[in-house]
Structure 1
Amino acid sequence: MESENININLESTNNTPLEAEPLMLHDDDDGDGDEVEEVKDGSSSTRKRRRTSNVWSVFKDTKEKVPDGKPIAKCKWCGKQQKYNSKYGTGNLKRHVETCVKRDTKDVDQMIIDAKDKSITVRSSKFDPLKLRELAIAAIVIHNLPLAFVEYKGVRAILSYCLDGRDVGLVSRNTAKSDLLKLHAREKGRVKSLLEDVPGRISLTSDLWTSVVTDGYICLTAHFVDKAWNLQKRVLNFSFMPPPHTGVALSEKVYNLIDDWKIDRKLFSITLDNASSNDTFVDFLKIQLTTRHALLKDGEFFHIRCCAHILNLIVQDGLKEVDKAIIKARESIKYVKGS
């Protein structure tokens, strides 16, 4: 009985392979595997697993093969096709990524997808405190915020949270004032260089008014056509104008502003309202400019009166003629509504 059992076991053992080939795992040259291949009973079968190599974010599998049987992948950047073999790795694809002529030099970790417009933007992971100060000053200028905005506890708490507790180095109001003056000087230099490149003449408009606290201010604006034949407008000065607001004082103030911008020899005209002091102002300014031969036709077309102000004066005079009738109509309406 024992011998029979032994024979039976041997026969059953001969019907099956004595050694089964082991499970074969092929790694990439860069250490990331693509497929697992298992061989049984002399027949081969493949079982694919998820690709983990970073090159597949750049390459796309074309599902095609070359005559020697190797599959082909297409580069998403330059469109070039490269051969690869899942058994021996994706090193060929990795070498192409490093030398691709259209390679994106930005790190993938620095690329974020903007869900709003589905566009890809680049953000630098390096924090620049000077850039933060520039953005803070720009916000103060754009939104007309006080200089103490940089000292608000709530603002600092928000920035500290957004920057993950990093020392943001926010400045005081005095430093913000200094940065604001530097910003003004830099922008003034840009506008001055723009005015220097103007091929033609520059026309000016100016107005003067008094605030609710009886402080006077003057605004000077330049209008010109640039090299591309586009009409441009720039506010040159918004300055404090102390009293008295006489023609002589206005002429001295405006001439100093014009001389500061170095456009005294490029002026064509100046447009003002019809205040009586402006006539004296233009006469004195014209004398200062004509002595330097800076005006065309000796300033014959230099002074232009504001048409909108003229129309406003006409309407005001017309309303004075019907003033009594308008008052009676308003009193009648008040009586009807109040009864």
Structure 2
Amino acid sequence: MKNSSDNEAKAEIIINTSEKKNSWVWPFYRQVQALNGDIITICEVEIDTGVKCNKRYKTKGSTGNLINHLLKHGITKDNPQPQKITKITSKPSVIPHEEKKQQELRQHLVNWLVCDSRPLSIVQNEFFHRFVDELDPRFNIPDVKLIKQIIHKAYNYAVPLLKEDLKNNAIKVSLTMDLWTSHNRKGYIGITCSYIDENFKLNEITLSIQYIAYPHTATHIRETVNSIIDYWELNEKVQSIVTDNAANIKKAVSGMANIDWQGCSSHTLQLVVGKSMKPCRALIARAKRLIQFFLQPKHSEQLEEVQKLYPNKSSVDPSQTSDYLIHCISDCITRWNSSYLAWTRLVQIKPYISLMINHLLLHNDSNIRKDGKQLRDIMLTESEWDLIIELLQVLGPIEEATTCLGGSKYTTHSLLYRLIESLKKRFKPNKNDRISNDKLDFNTEDDVFDEDNDFEFEFNNDENTQIQININTPLYELYEERKAFAENEKNENEKQTQTNNIIDKCSNTIINLLYVPSLIKSLDKEEAIQNEVNEYLDLPQIGLNNNSLVWWELHSTKFPILSELSRIYLAIPATSTPVSDCLAMLVIY
């Protein structure tokens, strides 16, 4: 705030109040009252011998600005002694920016806090104040209360704009939804929205992350989701909702009118992995015990020392810090692909484990020798290491598919069918398998990768290991029809001829009876659709690494009808990863 003028200073009355002030800041300030009734708080900190700061603030009870100002003097609650060398000492007469410039700088600060998910309390940090003072001493850093007001104001400003954008640019939208329980056992629901605009750009908006009261029944979840959809005025635009396979969430979405439920493909793949790994329980338990050994700080440091002693075993630079060394990764049941990543890292450090056993057993310290004996006892056998490597070869393609389908910067729905087909072909049993299928109970797993299995829209809750996915798009249905027609070209030609005759007769009859432009246009549109589909299906498929949205943007004029369908269905995520990432940000706070 700008300093008051000299005339205002002469017209001030010193306040003598017997009211006890509890805050620790008041010994460093005095208060006066202006003739207009404003309470002015003045800093009494000495910035030089006999020279006080005299920074003036209008206060209404809050001490946030006063605390932030004392930080510039190096004064905190735990350190009440002012530092002698401060920014204010060197430049006691710095004039703050005009209010317009202050607002601009505050907005940049808030943008950084929000976009980088920084805690708001950082503005109260002494060293942050010093840093900002070095950059621009004329900027008054806002307190937490003001930052919250700016964020709330920005939210109220942005919501109507987002609603208008959804109304004008989204043909249909797809939602992803997930429930999350915080450390204090409170439930939260997160919903994100994705759509493709007229420029074929994939857009994603976080609609809500809010508290949801217990019980988390399907009815309660459905009511909460409907209220969020109503708030964003998306009642007629929601095409589908992607969630995990939890029964209550699936039931909640399935009970919503005109909205399709789609299971998270990544979650389903992890169910397949979890069920398929049951015959390997003993091996997994031994690998996990070995990993847990190296997750202990003591043994982790011992592993670092071995890597530094034998740098030739890998590209380890012994002069670098421990961040450049190889450490074990924990296997977490709630994290997708965590077993694959943990075992991959375990295989990487295998040479060092063997060296570490000998290194510990030969140590002079008896306690360290005990560690060596323990590590020797839990060390995997060579056959077990071979099995781990084989498991990694099995899980590798699933990890790749899960990572690919979990992307949010590109369309994933169009990749789903082709990736699942690729996994089916890769894992289909054959006569060269080392273990015959009759020795393992993999009935449901064999069905999962059966080429004759059709994709269905819903997941089967009774058999979690089944992948039952259906693309559920007109383009896919047209593609299946196209394949069927190709098998019997003669019948196709006859059907097409009959269809054309019917259309011609119908058109002539309508023209003879009454001129109805709308009906004729609709018939013309049907023929245009058929021609457009035929031309589209005759084109070669683009590669998986190509951006399908770029392709549709380039061909939207040639395929105007199908391009609109692409904007509807390509916006559907293959997984619920986007909303899971949003909920994960709650951990920071």
SS in 1 for 2:204: strand
Give the direction of change, closer, same or farther, for the CA distance of 1:169–1:269 in structure 2 (3 Å limit). Answer: same
> Partner residue of 1:262?
233
Matched, 1:338 2:379: no
Q: Does 1:241 align with 2:212?
A: yes
Runs of 5+ in structure 1 lacking a partner? 1-124, 287-294
Q: TM-score, normalised by structure 1?
A: 0.53
Secondary structure at 1:285 match in 2: coil
Q: For residues 209-233 of structure 1, give each alpha carbon's deviation from its aligned partner in whole angstroms, at most 9, with x where no partner exists.
A: 2122222221111121101122222
Residue in 1 that maps onto 2:163: 192
Q: What is the match of residue 48 of structure 1?
A: none
Note the C-alpha offset of 1:330.
6.0
1:152 paired to 2:190:
no
What is the one-letter code of the residue matched to 2:118? Answer: L
Please tell me the residue identity of whatever aligns with 2:282: K
The structure in which a higher percent of residues are strand is 1
Identify the match of residue 204 of structure 1 among 165, 169, 175.
175
**Deviation, structure 1 residue 132:** 1.2
- Are 2:275 and 1:317 equivalent residues in the alignment? yes
Aligned residues of 1:225 and 1:232 also touching (Cα < 8 A) = yes
Equivalents in 2 of 1:247, 1:309: separation in Å? 20
Q: 1:304 aligns with which of 230, 255, 262?
A: 262
Summarize the alignment of residues 71-82 of structure 1 with structure 2, pairs less than 5 Å apart: none
SS at match of 1:207: strand
Residue 10 of structure 1 aligns with which residue?
none
For 2:116, which of 118, 124, 143 is the aligned residue?
143
Q: 1:265 to 1:138 in 2, by over 3 A?
A: same
What does residue 245 of structure 2 align with? 274
2:163 & 2:185 partners in 1: Cα distance?
31
Work out whether residues 221 and 233 of structure 1, in 8 Å CA contact, stay in contact via their aligned partners in 2. yes
SS at match of 2:255: helix
Could you tell me how far apart the structure 1 residues matched to 2:290 and 2:112 are? 51
Larger relative contact order (CA 8 Å, sep ≥ 6): 2
Partners of 2:284 and 2:127 in 1: how far apart?
53
Call closer, same or farther: CA 1:204–1:337 in 2, change over 3 Å: same
Q: Is the 8 A contact 1:151 1:171 kept in 2?
A: no
Larger radius of gyration: 1
Distance of 1:331 and 1:176 partners within structure 2: 47
SS in 1 for 2:122: helix
| Secondary structure in structure 1 of the residue aligned to 2:178 | strand
Cα distance between partner residues in 2 of 1:152 and 1:180: 20
Alpha-carbon distance change, 248 to 162 in structure 1, aligned in 2, over 3 angstroms: same
Preserved CA contact (<8 Å) 1:204 1:270: yes
1:332/1:143 Cα in 2 relative to 1: closer, same or farther (>3 Å)? closer
Task: Determine the C-alpha separation between the residues in 2 that align with 1:146 and 1:240.
Answer: 20
Mapping of residues 53-68 of structure 1, within 5 Å: none
SS at match of 1:219: strand
Query: Aligned partners of 1:159, 1:329: CA distance in 2, in Å?
Result: 50
Work out whether residues 106 and 141 of structure 2, in 8 Å CA contact, stay in contact via their aligned partners in 1.
yes
- Which residue in the other structure is 2:224 paired with? 253
Aligned pair in 2 of structure 1 residues 152, 315: CA closer, same or farther (>3 Å)?
Answer: same
Q: State the one-letter code of the partner of 1:190.
A: L
Q: How does 1:89-168 map to 2 (within 5 A)?
A: 128-163=101-136, 165-166=137-138, 168=139
More helix by share: 2
Give the secondary structure class of the aligned counterpart of 1:197. Answer: helix
Secondary structure at the aligned position of 1:322 is classed as helix
2:149 to 178, 186, 200: 178
Alpha-carbon offset, residue 260 of structure 1: 0.4
Distance in 2 of aligned mates of 1:200 and 1:135 = 34
1:327 aligns with 2:315: no
For residues 123-179 of structure 1, give each alpha carbon's deviation from its aligned partner in whole angstroms, at most 9, with x where no partner exists: xx987010011011112112322223233333333333433x43x333221111111
Distance 1:318 1:137, change over 3 A: same
Give the root-mean-square deviation of aligned CA atoms.
Answer: 2.6
Assess, with a 3 A threshold, how the Cα gap between structure 1 residues 215 and 330 changes in structure 2: closer, same or farther. Answer: closer
SS of corresponding position for 1:244: coil
User: How far is the alpha carbon of 1:285 from its aligned partner?
Assistant: 2.6
Moved more, 329-338 or 227-236: 329-338
Give SS of 1:128's match.
helix
Alpha-carbon shift at residue 200 of structure 1 (Å) = 1.2
Cα distance in 1 for partners of 2:289, 2:130 equals: 57
Q: Between the two proteins, what is the percent identity of the paired residues?
A: 25
CA distance in 2, matches of 1:151, 1:326: 48
2:191 equivalent in structure 1: 220
Separation in structure 1 between the aligned mates of residue 104 and residue 180 of structure 2, nearest angstrom: 37
Take 2:289 and 2:199, find their aligned partners in 1: how far apart are those partners? 58
CA contact (8 A) 1:136 1:150 kept: no
